[in-house]
């Protein structure tokens, strides 16, 4: 695909000048940028080269404009706090669109928009939307630059906060521009906060617009995001590109773009295993990605915490790679007792959004320590004490930090080839019904389990907290095409693997509760006990017990050494209530109905087989 070879990367100085590549592909990139600038009318255009000097200047500028608060370097060097507008705190799923040529291709789970009409709407919105602001041109690579699984793109944005965040979350800079200049294919992404400044008009700390649009054009590989500065809507390389657009590319090319974490687990015998896990937003991916086992002899290395691209290899195995370079993690609930790895990762060089500020210039959020500080400034900048009615940090407050800072990041986390995948986990937040761990009987049963994942709603997206919703493969908000076709694609990818080398699939649930409402399983580091069983299971060291919903552990095979857990709680953790599961099967049938003809016959058979097993039990 490369048409031109360029020998050297332009020296990075952070001047904002157009990189001086003189190729047809570079001319195309420049013409595209000029076109966006003509539409949005920014005061100036800055080409980001990814240099340290540029990043420093950007952060200084944001502090000067009151958009970032510099934290006390004594506690949190190189770190900043952003406070969003109170209305701009999460992904806006209702305003997220797939503008495919055919409505059918967006499928029943996405908002579809007619691409021609949507382009007109966007033209209107973006008309002059960057007036008075700087438009940044940010070339980024998902995956190590030039890697065989990597994909590149460009984001133009009028948010310097977004630029700083993209700089942490992806590989940004001139090496990418050079690839584009050489003719590599790239994805176009455009972002504006939708808050033009008239001459003399004062800026606000978090510019945004009440009207919001996050629009994907899967056929032309373009993303347009308007009106929001929130990470999930503004860092377009992440959810918009690496999941929604990439899932479409993956469908066409025979691979998978997934909302998953990725870890390497080394067992007491020194054998390494790679596990990817799909849990819906705010359901424990970042926690499991940074697991510290509570059982001796096991170690976990982090490879990724949110997105994994998985490709079938020539050897019939699947190879998994984290396309991101940083973590955009949920802050609340991240503490010494739950995720000490994350706490250590956040020692500095971190951008926090919507957490609370301590009087000493450090940050705090619910769950960081058991006892809150006596006085804080809450996420909206108001005085806060432990008597306050509302949390000090927003429930979806986030940290943005480089993956390289994680103390247990795998040495080879930037290996562009990825790692061979042994296990795939599906999970959600389920107070009842779903056992702590169940093994799928084969790939198609595993796809069935993935397709039926449901979870209680969290703060990561707008909506009613606690309500149960289906979130197949944890991809409901992120699949860029018809979810029924996506199920079929998973089945097809499975068929391309050697049956004895396909990853084994398990369902897990850390969130089952007793009648009194408390979690039955301690979770966090103790989830290593579940991993221990899974690894011994795939190594053929333990047998499992068949149940109507899949294979369950024998009680004696679970490593519960040093854990205080009541027998009754264990019974409940693994209880399979036949009536409740029959009701679950009815609900799955209702859920499946929306896919019509797009639902693969194999999944309908799986549902019927489940009913048959439940009836026979």
- From candidates 88, 158, 301, 306, binder to ligand GTP by CB under 6 A: 306
Confirm or deny that 415 is annotated as ligand binding: no
- Does 306 interact with Mn ion (rule: CB under 5 A)? yes
Q: Which residues does 479 contact at the CB level (< 8 Å), separation at least 6?
A: 107, 109, 110, 243, 244, 247, 473, 486
Query: Catalytic: 479?
Result: no
The neighbour count for residue 393, using CB atoms within 10 Å, is 26
Distances (CA, A) of 145 to 138, 172, 176, 179, 358: 14, 9, 7, 9, 39
Confirm or deny that 239 is annotated as ligand binding: yes
Site string for Mn ion, 322-361 (x = CB under 5 A): -------x--------------------------------
Distances (CA, A) of 287 to 114, 327, 334: 39, 11, 8
- Of 116-124, 245-253, 294-302, 306-314, the window that binds Mn ion (rule: CB under 5 A) is 306-314
- Does 233 interact with ligand GTP (rule: CB under 6 A)? no
Confirm or deny that 285 is annotated as ligand binding: yes
What whole-number distance in Å separates Cα of residue 526 and Cα of residue 537? Answer: 18
How does DSSP assign 430-441, residue by residue?
A: -SSSS-SEEE-S
Within 331-350, the residues that bind ligand GTP by CB under 6 A are 333, 338
How does DSSP assign 546-611, residue by residue?
A: EETTEEEE-GGGS--TT----HHHHHHHT---HHHHHHHHHHHHHHHHTTGGGS-HHHHHHHHHHH
In terms of DSSP bridges, do strands 222-226 and 213-217 run parallel, antiparallel, or are they unpaired?
Answer: antiparallel
**Considering the complex, what minimum distance in angstroms separates the CB of residue 279 from ligand GTP?**
5
- Residues contacting ligand GTP: total by CB under 6 A: 21
Whose Cβ is closer to ligand GTP: residue 159's or residue 287's? Answer: 287
For ligand GTP, the nearest residue by Cβ is 523
**Considering the complex, what minimum distance in angstroms separates the CB of residue 288 from ligand GTP?**
7
Give the N- to C-terminal CA distance of the chain in Å, as an integer.
57
Within 490-519, the residues that bind ligand GTP by CB under 6 A are 510-511, 519
Answer left, alpha or beta for residue 125, where phi above 0 means left and psi between -120 and 50 means alpha.
alpha
- Does 54 interact with ligand GTP (rule: CB under 6 A)? no
- Does 477 interact with ligand GTP (rule: CB under 6 A)? no
What whole-number distance in Å separates Cα of residue 69 and Cα of residue 85? Answer: 15
**Considering the complex, what minimum distance in angstroms separates the CB of residue 401 from ligand GTP?**
13
The neighbour count for residue 613, using CB atoms within 10 Å, is 16
Task: Describe the chain by its helix, strand, coil percentages, rounded to 5.
Answer: 30, 20, 45
Catalytic residue among 208, 283, 406, 479: 283
Site string for Mn ion, 479-518 (x = CB under 5 A): ----------------------------------------
Residues forming the site for Mn ion (CB under 5 A): 281, 285-286, 306, 329
Residue numbers belonging to the annotated binding site for GTP = 282-287, 398, 429, 524-527
Residue numbers belonging to the annotated binding site = 91, 230-232, 239, 259, 281-287, 306, 396-398, 429, 524-527
Q: Which residues are catalytic?
A: 283
Residues forming the site for ligand GTP (CB under 6 A): 279, 281-287, 305-306, 329-330, 333, 338, 460, 510-511, 519, 523-524, 527
């Amino acid at each position: 695909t490369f048409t031109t070879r360029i020998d050297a990367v332009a020296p990075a100085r952070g001047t904002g000048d157009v990189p001086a590549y003189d190729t047809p592909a570079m001319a195309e990139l420049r013409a595209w940028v000029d076109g966006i600038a003509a539409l949005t009318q920014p005061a100036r255009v800055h080409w980001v080269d990814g240099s340290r000097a540029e990043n420093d200047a950007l952060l200084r500028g944001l502090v000067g404009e009151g958009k970032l608060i510099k934290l006390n370097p004594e506690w949190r060097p190189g770190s900043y706090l952003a406070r969003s507008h109170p209305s701009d705190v999460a992904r806006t799923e209702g305003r997220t669109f797939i503008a495919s040529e055919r409505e059918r291709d967006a499928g029943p789970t996405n908002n579809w928009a007619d691409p021609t009409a949507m382009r007109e709407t966007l033209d209107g919105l973006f008309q002059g939307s960057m007036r008075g602001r700087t438009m940044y041109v940010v070339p980024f690579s998902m995956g190590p630059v030039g890697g065989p699984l990597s994909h590149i793109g460009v984001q133009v944005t009028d948010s310097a906060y977004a630029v700083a965040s993209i700089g942490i979350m992806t590989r940004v800079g001139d090496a990418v521009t050079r690839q584009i200049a050489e003719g590599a294919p790239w994805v176009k992404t455009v972002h504006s906060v939708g808050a033009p400044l008239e001459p003399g008009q004062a800026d606000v700390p978090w510019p945004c617009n009440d009207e919001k649009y996050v629009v994907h054009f899967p056929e032309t590989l373009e993303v347009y995001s308007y009106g929001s500065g929130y990470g999930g809507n503004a860092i377009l390389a992440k959810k918009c590109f690496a999941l929604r657009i990439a899932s479409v590319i993956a469908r066409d090319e025979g691979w998978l773009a997934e909302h998953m974490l990725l870890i390497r687990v080394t067992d007491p015998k020194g054998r390494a295993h790679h596990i990817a896990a799909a849990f819906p937003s705010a359901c424990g991916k970042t926690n499991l990605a940074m697991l510290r086992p509570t059982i001796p002899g096991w170690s976990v290395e982090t490879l990724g915490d949110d997105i994994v691209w998985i490709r079938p290899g020539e050897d019939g195995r699947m190879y998994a790679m984290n396309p991101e370079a940083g973590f955009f993690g949920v802050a609340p609930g991240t503490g010494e007792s739950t995720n000490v790895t994350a706490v250590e990762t956040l020692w500095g060089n971190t951008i926090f959004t919507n957490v609370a500020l301590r009087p000493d210039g450090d940050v705090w959020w619910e769950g960081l320590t058991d006892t809150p500080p006596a006085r804080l400034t809450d996420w909206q900048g108001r005085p806060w004490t432990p008597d306050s009615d509302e949390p000090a940090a927003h429930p979806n407050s986030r940290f943005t930090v480089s993956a390289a800072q994680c103390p247990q990041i795998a040495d080879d986390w930037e290996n562009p080839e990825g790692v061979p995948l042994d296990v795939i986990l599906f999970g959600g937040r389920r107070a009842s019904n779903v056992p702590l761990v169940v093994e799928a009987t084969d790939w198609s049963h595993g796809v069935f389990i993935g397709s039926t994942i449901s979870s209680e709603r969290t703060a990561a997206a707008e909506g009613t907290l606690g309500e149960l919703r289906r979130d197949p493969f944890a991809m409901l908000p992120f699949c860029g095409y018809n979810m029924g076709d996506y199920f079929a694609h998973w089945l097809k990818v499975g068929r391309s693997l050697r049956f004895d080398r396909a990853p084994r699939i398990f369902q897990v649930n850390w969130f089952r509760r007793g009648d009194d409402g408390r979690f039955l399983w301690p979770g966090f580091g103790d989830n290593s006990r579940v991993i221990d069983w899974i690894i011994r299971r795939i190594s053929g060291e333990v047998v499992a017990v068949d149940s109507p919903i899949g294979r369950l552990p024998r009680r004696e095979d679970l490593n519960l050494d040093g854990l205080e857990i009541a027998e009754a709680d264990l019974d409940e953790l693994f209880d399979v209530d036949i009536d409740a599961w029959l009701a679950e099967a009815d609900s799955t049938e209702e859920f499946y109905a929306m896919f019509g003809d797009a639902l693969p016959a194999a999944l309908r058979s799986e549902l019927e087989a489940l009913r048959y097993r439940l009836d026979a039990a």
